[in-house]
Structure 1
Amino acid sequence: MMRNLASHKKKSSTLGIYDFDKLFIEHLLDNCNAAGEQVLSAIEYHFRSVGSLKRAHLCFKIAKNLEINDKDSLLIAAAIESLHNASLIHDDIQDESVTRRNKPTLWLKLDQNQAMCVGDALISASFALIAQIESSKVHILIQKMNHRVLQSIKGQTADIQNKSIGSIENYMQIAFEKSVPLFLLSAELPCLYKNNFDHKFALKALKNFAISYQLFDDIQDQIVDKRKGDLNIVNLLSDNLCKQNKYSEQESTQLSIKKVHAEIEHLLFVSQFYLSFVDKILSIPILELIDYLKKDIKHKLYE
């Protein structure tokens, strides 16, 4: 099932981002074989629309910039994408979301129990992928990955517990724990592979980017989250304004969206500031992410 990387190198001396997009699903499926055909079919269904691959692309680009070999660059980035999609599948179950990437969510197509097993298979596959890399640092990478996964679980658990009764302070902590870990891991794993390549300021930049990314999601999901009672920064701010009896619900929502947008711009500015201290090997892929988000905000909020 998995395409032979050695034969691919005969055609091209190095893998590019488009090669990654073609190959990573084959790697995921290959490492989920033991789970059986039903799980493999479910994974194929889930990945018929692959999403933007932001985290995986960031990881792959950094790995290639650090001159990590093709095979290991692909394995590390595929592990990141496997973890991310496991979190999406589990998140859809917990939030009872009915669509993902313009098609029915996996739990709706199958059922919650089967979808949970598919998410578990992807988590298992992510660690198997890392175990295959050719580096003496494998144990360090696995430890770091485990730490970031547990951080995400902590954030998701807090999100489920808080829902609409959360405070602004709680929200920011939850947003940090849910959104930041996998973005950080996308830079950390390649850097740890290359003997702890200095990435302190890059991680600071990614933290700010990841939170701004979550805030933008909240702007887009404001109506749905309000109906479901899910934690959302726009709705928290709007509710606080409504309690002051100065604004209507519509005015409060509009003012809150403007405030959140201003915070996003500030976070992205801080990210770019930190990146001014970072080697281009790391800074360019992160700057590309920031530019992508800015264009997405302009397109979806103002056009």
Structure 2
Amino acid sequence: MKLTQFVQALNEEFSQQTYGEHPEELYEPIRYLMSLGGKRMRPLMTLMATALFTDDWQKAIKPATAVEVFHNFTLMHDDIMDKAPLRRGKPTVHAKWNDNTAILSGDVMLVQAYELLMFVEDSKFKKALKRFNRTAAEVCEGQQLDMNFENRENVSEEEYLEMIKLKTSVLLGYALELGGIIGGGSEKSCDLLYNIGLNIGLGFQLKDDLLDVYGDPEKFGKQVGGDIISNKKTFMLIEALEKADGETKVALNKWLSLKEFDATEKVKAVTAIYDTLGIREVATVKINTYFDKAFEALESLKVDEDRKLILRTFAETLIDREV
């Protein structure tokens, strides 16, 4: 089994999905957002997890797309809350249409996710649905915590990690767990898959924080230093605030308090403070800790090593990613 087979199957499925037709103003934004693509790592993870237990992984294709449609529903609404102008390099739905359209189209996407999830066979549907509902609520909890943090002076590392676990990681955990459920994996195997996804998600988000500061603008696909410009409370900033003292602390607080500044100058100055404090190295260690936990859980999964290879290789590419 090769990753390209999963990618091709998903691309074909997404190209055939219609979502709805009338009124056009409701469904066109959905088609627009879904056409922007993205990594589609979540549905890929569902197919990979299904293939761990059965050769009939195709039965997971539609439920896998449910995870991606739900993910994009959260993005559509998050973009409104964040007032984000761009998504994957293109205008966001609320910017291209308006807030009300984006809210309503997002609502329909959530309904569509449930419709697609119903393709899980009856004997496994209740478990898949119950876990999906819990995950969906947790993603909303994570988004609320993220918004809460915007209005707080201090956020601890523990609080931040809990927030990204809920906002990002639980859905990756569910994507793998869903594949285990569909493939017929044992309860223990499904639990292990969930933990693998959870730790991959934490490592993935922390890598995102790192790339926002140290990524190559040509490869990263969005503005490097955006988190610094907006004073976003990332792992990087939280660590810097904890470690800084003396003149370094004064300089960091000065940049955080400025209402007017040159963006390029601020990014350069704060990045230099991160360099002085060794924040890049601290973040890299933390990232590797989570990926190591994921690999340990994968190692203990009672499945033929040949079947694990594609998932292990996929996780390794996430560690080394530059975008």
| TM-score, normalised relative to structure 2 | 0.79
- 1:45: how far off? 1.4
Corresponding position of 2:297: 274
- Give the structure, 1 or 2, with the largest relative contact order (CA under 8 Å, sep 6 or more): 2
Is the 2:48–2:311 Cα contact (8 Å) retained in structure 1?
A: no
Is the 2:45–2:176 Cα contact (8 Å) retained in structure 1?
A: yes
Is the 1:86–1:120 Cα contact (8 Å) retained in structure 2?
A: yes
Corresponding position of 2:146: 159
- 1:276: how far off? 1.3
Cα distance per residue 1:2-48 (max 9 Å; x no partner)? xxxxxxxxxxxxx7430221212533x2xx31763222211221123
**Structure 1 residue runs without a partner (length 5+):** 1-14
- 1:258: how far off? 2.4
- 1:267: how far off? 1.8
Q: 1:210, 1:44 → 2: CA distance?
A: 27
Cα distance per residue 1:95-133 (max 9 Å; x no partner)? 122111111111111112211222221111111111233
Q: 1:213, 1:196 → 2: CA distance?
A: 25
Q: 1:239, 1:107 → 2: CA distance?
A: 35
Structure-to-structure mapping, 1:127-206, within 5 angstroms: 127-163=114-150, 165=153, 166-197=155-186, 198-206=189-197
Corresponding position of 1:5: none
Task: Return the letter of the residue paired with 1:97.
Answer: A
Is the 2:53–2:184 Cα contact (8 Å) retained in structure 1?
A: no
Change (3 A) 1:236 1:75: same
Is the 2:62–2:119 Cα contact (8 Å) retained in structure 1?
A: yes
Change (3 A) 1:85 1:68: farther
Cα distance per residue 1:66-99 (max 9 Å; x no partner)? 3374663111111011111111112211112211
* Secondary structure of 2:35's aligned partner: coil
CA root-mean-square deviation:
2.4
Moved more, 266-275 or 123-132: 266-275
- 1:137: how far off? 2.0
The yes-or-no answer on 1:260 pairing with 2:283 is yes
| TM-score, normalised relative to structure 1 | 0.83
Is the 1:191–1:199 Cα contact (8 Å) retained in structure 2?
A: yes
Structure-to-structure mapping, 1:263-302, within 5 angstroms: 263-278=286-301, 279=303, 280=305, 283-296=308-321, 299=322
Corresponding position of 1:211: 202
Cα distance per residue 1:165-205 (max 9 Å; x no partner)? 32222101101111111111112112223445223333322
Is the 2:77–2:103 Cα contact (8 Å) retained in structure 1?
A: yes
